[in-house]
Structure formats: structure tokens, C-alpha cells
């Protein structure tokens, strides 16, 4: 009932064609406050066009792991995520199952469009609601902020953590914890859960 999937990707640039090199996701339950499962993989592909130097310099460990073969081909990602979600009952064996509630910092404008663009059959294997949970709006102070805050500011405001890891799984966990914190402590008092 309270389950959602927090996901994040790491890319080699901001362009929609910049290669996705890492995917991370967690299944979380805001009502219990628990992370129920984790999924992380590095991703390889046939070619690496549209890379930006600054993004490549941020991810030397991931790139080394991909070069060493510690990865999944990008076209295999949707089916692998689908199989993982089956365990939690968030999708079903028949493709195009129920839509998944997705969370992520900028997931609607960054992560999901790139996953749909670069992964064959993403929407068939991982059907997501078009509305996403973004902690930027949960921790936005309209009196002082010109824009919704970034992940680091959200974490600071929630009192959860000060640094952002910039790895897919760690960032997905941070987003899940922000949403759990908000739902359990701000929007719905703990006594009512």
C-alpha cells in the first residue's frame, strides 16, 4: 500500500543521448519507514557517443568497472528491473502491468526520459505513472527559495545527511529516505501511521 520505487541514473553528460552508465533503485515503504530491496547495476553499450568530459571525470570507478565487464547491457535493463519488481508485487508476469509509483530527484525531467529513450521496451517492462514523487517540492521553502532545492539541500533540511554520493543506488536511497521522512514526520504525524 505504501510502496514506491526510488530510482536514479548516472550518465556521461546532460544530453538525452549521453550514455547511462549506472542504474540504481530501491523499493521503499513510507508507512513502515523501510527500504525493502535494492537494485544496482553498471551499464554497457556498443558505443559511447555524446559524452561530456566533466561527467566522465565524475565517474572513474564506474567506468573502470564497466571496462572490467562488471555490468549489464543497457538493452537488458528493463527486463532485469521487471523481474526484480515481481518479487515485491509491484508489477506482474504479464507485461504492461500496473503502473509503478516512481520517486527521484528530477526523475520526471531527467531520469525517466533518458531511460525511455535509451532502453528498448522500458515502458513495456517498467510501466511508471506519469506523476513522480520529487523531494524538491517537499523541502522547497517558497518564502526563501527561487527554485526547488537540490538533493544536498533537501537532505540538510531533513537533517538526514550532508553529502550527496552521486552514485545511482546511494542517491536513490537518499531520495527514498527523504520521502519517508516527509510522509511520516511532516505530512502524516507518526502517531497516525
* pLDDT of res. 120: 87
Tell me what percent of the residues of the chain surpass a pLDDT of 70.
93
Work out the end-to-end distance of the chain between its first and last CA atoms, rounded to an integer number of angstroms: 12
* pLDDT of res. 193: 47
Between 1.10.287.610, 3.30.420.10, 3.30.70.270, 2.60.40.1120, what CATH number should domain 3-192 receive? 3.30.420.10
Under a CB-based contact definition with an 8 Å cutoff, are residues 115 and 14 in contact? Answer: no
* pLDDT of res. 166: 86
Mean pLDDT over all residues of the chain?
91
pLDDT tier at 94, thresholds 50, 70, 90: low
pLDDT tier at 70, thresholds 50, 70, 90: confident
Round to whole Å and give the CA distance between 137 and 123. 25
Q: Give the residue from 7, 107, 11 showing the smallest Cα distance to 59.
A: 11
Under a CB-based contact definition with an 8 Å cutoff, are residues 138 and 179 in contact? Answer: yes
Amino acid at each position: 500500500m505504501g510502496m514506491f520505487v526510488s530510482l536514479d541514473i548516472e550518465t556521461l553528460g546532460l544530453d538525452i543521448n549521453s550514455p547511462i552508465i549506472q542504474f540504481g533503485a530501491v523499493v521503499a515503504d513510507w508507512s513502515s519507514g523501510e527500504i525493502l530491496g535494492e537494485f544496482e547495476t553498471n551499464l554497457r553499450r556498443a558505443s559511447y557517443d555524446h559524452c561530456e568530459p566533466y561527467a566522465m571525470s565524475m565517474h572513474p570507478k564506474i567506468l573502470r568497472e564497466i571496462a572490467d565487464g562488471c555490468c549489464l547491457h543497457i538493452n537488458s535493463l528493463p527486463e532485469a528491473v521487471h523481474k526484480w519488481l515481481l518479487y515485491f508485487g509491484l508489477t506482474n508476469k504479464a507485461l504492461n502491468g500496473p503502473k509503478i509509483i516512481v520517486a527521484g530527484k528530477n526523475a520526471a525531467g531527467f531520469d525517466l526520459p533518458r531511460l525511455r529513450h535509451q532502453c528498448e521496451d522500458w515502458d513495456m517492462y517498467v510501466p511508471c505513472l506519469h506523476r513522480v514523487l520529487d523531494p524538491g517540492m517537499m523541502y522547497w521553502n517558497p518564502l526563501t527559495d527561487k527554485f526547488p532545492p537540490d538533493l544536498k539541500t533537501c537532505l540538510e533540511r531533513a537533517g538526514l545527511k550532508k553529502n550527496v554520493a552521486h552514485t545511482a543506488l546511494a542517491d536513490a536511497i537518499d531520495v527514498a529516505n527523504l520521502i519517508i521522512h516527509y510522509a511520516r514526520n511532516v505530512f502524516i504525524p507518526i502517531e497516525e501511521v
